[in-house]
Structure 1
């Protein structure tokens, strides 16, 4: 089986998202699709799977022109799309989510829960996962939810699987299991369209790569014949230089000190972060990094421990208390916790700072507009205007909006949980430069990241957790991935 897309064009009003894209993929091949956020990758896949209709061009399946009326239609014809943002129902169990609209019934027309649980466990075990299929999916980590999305795709017996940032929330071990599964399916003739911003994955799992920029397919290469700098140049239209800007930190006094923090999933965690410092938090999924930050910010309850801010003990019992004390939190899940998706970019960015625009109880709209415009320009948010809804932006631009919100609020301590997850190479560098600018202004940054090169390159010190316990803190200068991983897996 072969998919060919020729001269695909799509516009939303005057905004030309795709301008004649060519792309093809064959059975038993992993073909990567790369490009900056907003390059048109997801739009192209939405057209292939019937979520959007093309304005021009043709889709050929084994040489025959084809179009699908919906994602379900595409799935019935063997094309499955695993989206970057999960489409789960958090108040339903894992098994009920996996079999939604695909329920197995007994001969009496009743739900065959026993068989559905058996099959759900089978497909998850293929991915090396032992997730309890009876628990609510909303209680799982983002990484575990992603594993369930991949398992759902395996259930469809797909001939082609589209994966949009499949490893963005996975640990190294889960990624290795996923790649093993891809190779096994590939050997059975399954083809993959693999969308990723993780450059190193191209040479691990992909056969070819097509690079998109500004709605155009720029080049297609065999991964055995292309180097990283060529792909980056195609993506951004210029040489980008080193991914990670140099850090020359000048530490000030201790901005925040945590003493013996204990919560539901972490125990006796202590650390301090200085003004002008980036303190990295590393560890495998389930280590308790995110849970520690959520409790620190007042989202979840602390069982015990002290938080000392600029030399004074504070009680941060809620996010609003933390914001009042100058702490910002860019959460791991920007869709549900970082943004109000149906509200405008202006409303999202101004939200924590809105009281500063009140004059006699009335919002000074002109001052608010100027404030938002300044932040959008500073963070290079790509959008038609500040009035468009947040859900209309690409993932990387949504991340910039969340960052703009906290930068604008004047946070003196900023917690960044997976700040570049699902963000393209160009936007990553912009975020790193912004982090340096913030620390140059004496902002203290705590960065939680599963990307080891990012932790090693952007942190000044690295705190490593394992199964809710602290394993140590190391100087990032001269540290290696092996040192961090030894601690992250429980070694000394």
Structure 2
């Protein structure tokens, strides 16, 4: 079968960093190709090259047998290549309709053809399950999950031959993931070629036909998914065998440490009471919108509460961020792009942000001490950066997540509030993150772990509570839950 897209010996360098090194790839019409690899392997760079955002330094690309060298994203879209990026690229102050039609608005004698445009918009929104929303609704008022679906709808408006999806399910609840998979299946059946990046092998198995593996910018394997095992794929990704995807660090659960009493905020959480212990990893499951993130933000005092209070070792804490930080609270935000990191600053500035008191004396910052701590954490968390001075915006999404985690470790907190800490992180590094979480628990820290990925909650946590409609409806020991039980409780 001939390939709709063929990439031969494509290379791309950013200064001293070689992002792609003679990469080869073939994508066929009517099939889904899973692009797999660790963070920093070059997956997103390859998609940006295919979408016209980057120009390759060398190599050749063919689209439908013709030379393909897009001058930019608009030209790539005109040639039939559409992309959905891992990070949202929407204009929050514009309506959903204006975001979907941005750069595509048809005109008649200088006037927007709103009626025809709205028909196209409504059709695209229906196809991704957003038909219940008004096209005039402000995009910035929507949830992250809804915005992700708006991104997919925007790509579908193009008459694309090839759809590039970079971690499209990272912020979606299970129901929307299934809807997206249905959409991908429909597009595949219509003859579209789809290149799909994901760190979840079970997701890859669910949606893809073929695979291609990148490691350190090199092509290291490709073929049909039904002819390769998960262990073989993982070995190709990391260059070694990964014996334990969920390493368990022995830790003892101690005395009551963190207590919530009737904590309520608008719109969530609602009347949450809970006791968490020293050295405990407490998981929070639930659908997107159930109030999990809002609960963590209330614990960190980022959201106002109208009822209840939080106690640490029996002492009621003031509802102020400064007071919570001083008490030893540390938060890893789900939204690393706008809340978790300062994209234009270096790795060092991000890791040490908020922790400068640890590297200063009499008002003078000890730059050598600060850099030494950053380099230690770069090594510990395995951040792929050419130096501690590199801008965070130049790193892959997964390595940005590692920087956010490193900053939390630099804070030396006692209570770790982790909101989707492994989001966008590859399999090998996830195992390292799980190990570090276990080590934190073993040192007596208290961890509250929010995740949409049920296998990691079941494998890593001591207890799991399920939230639904803002309420904490049930708490059990992890061994007493199954994935089916968790999902049933979440939708109850």
Q: TM-score, normalised by structure 2?
A: 0.96
| 1:370 Cα deviation from its structure 2 partner | 1.7
CA contact (8 A) 2:12 2:19 kept: yes
Name 1:119's counterpart in structure 2.
120
Q: Would the aligned equivalents of 1:396 and 1:427 in 2 still touch at CA under 8 Å?
A: no
Residue 118 of structure 1: how far off its partner (Å)? 4.2
8 Å CA contact retained: 2:42, 2:216: yes
1:464 — aligned with what?
466
CA drift at 1:84: 0.4
Number of matched pairs: 488
The Cα of 1:384 is off from its aligned counterpart by: 0.9
Preserved CA contact (<8 Å) 1:252 1:274: yes
| Partner-residue secondary structure (3-state), 1:446 | strand
Q: Deviations over 1:6-49 (max 9, x none)?
A: 11112222322211111010111101100001111111122222
**Is this contact kept in 2: 1:218–1:234, CA < 8 A?**
yes
* SS of residue matched to 1:352: coil
The change in CA–CA distance for 1:311 and 1:114 in structure 2 (over 3 A counts) is: farther
Q: Is the 8 A contact 2:317 2:323 kept in 1?
A: no
Residue number among 318, 323, 326 corresponding to 1:324 in the alignment: 326
Residue among 282, 296, 299 paired with 1:296: 299
1:258-277 to structure 2, matched below 5 A, reads 258-266=260-268, 267-277=270-280
- State the Cα deviation string for residues 333-392 of structure 1 (Å, max 9, x = none): 111101001011111111121022221111122221222222222212111111111111
Distance between the aligned counterparts of 1:64 and 1:99, measured in 2? Answer: 28
Q: Which sections of structure 1, spanning at least 5 residues, go unmatched?
A: none
On the 8 A contact 2:249/2:439 being kept in 1, the answer is no
In the alignment, is the contact (CA less than 8 A) between 1:32 and 1:206 conserved in 2? yes
Paired with 2:429 and 2:242, the residues of 1 have a C-alpha distance of 11
Q: Tell me, what secondary structure is at the counterpart of 2:465?
A: strand
1:104, CA displacement in angstroms? 4.2
Q: How does 1:318-467 map to 2 (within 5 A)?
A: 319-467=321-469
User: Counterparts in 2 of 1:172-211, with a 5 A limit?
Assistant: 172-211=174-213
CA distance in 2, matches of 1:321, 1:132: 41
Which consecutive unaligned segments of at least 5 residues does structure 2 have? none
Aligned partner of 1:286 among 285, 289, 301: 289
- Which deviates more from structure 2 when the two are superposed, residues 375-384 or residues 453-462? 375-384
Deviates more, 1:240-249 or 1:301-310: 240-249
Which of 244, 248, 269 is the matching residue for 1:242?
Answer: 244
Whole-Å separation in 2 of the counterparts to 1:118 and 1:68? 29
Distance 1:203 1:379 in 2: 28
Of the structure 1 ranges 203-212 and 108-117, higher mean CA displacement relative to structure 2 is found in 108-117
Contact 2:145-2:172 within 8 A present in 1 as well: yes
Q: Determine the structure 1 residue equivalent to 2:313.
A: 310
What is the deviation of 1:113? Answer: 4.3
Q: TM-score scaled to structure 1, two decimals?
A: 0.96
Which stretch shifts more, 295-304 or 337-346? 295-304
Moved more, 325-334 or 6-15: 6-15
Q: What does the per-residue CA deviation read over 1:430-451, in whole Å, with 9 as the maximum and x for residues that have no partner?
A: 1111101111111111011000
Q: CA deviation at 1:93?
A: 2.0
Structure 1: distance between partners of 2:111 and 2:267: 39
Counterpart CA distance in 1 for 2:204 and 2:383 is: 27
Instruction: Indicate if the aligned counterparts of 1:323 and 1:352 stay in contact, CA closer than 8 A.
Output: no
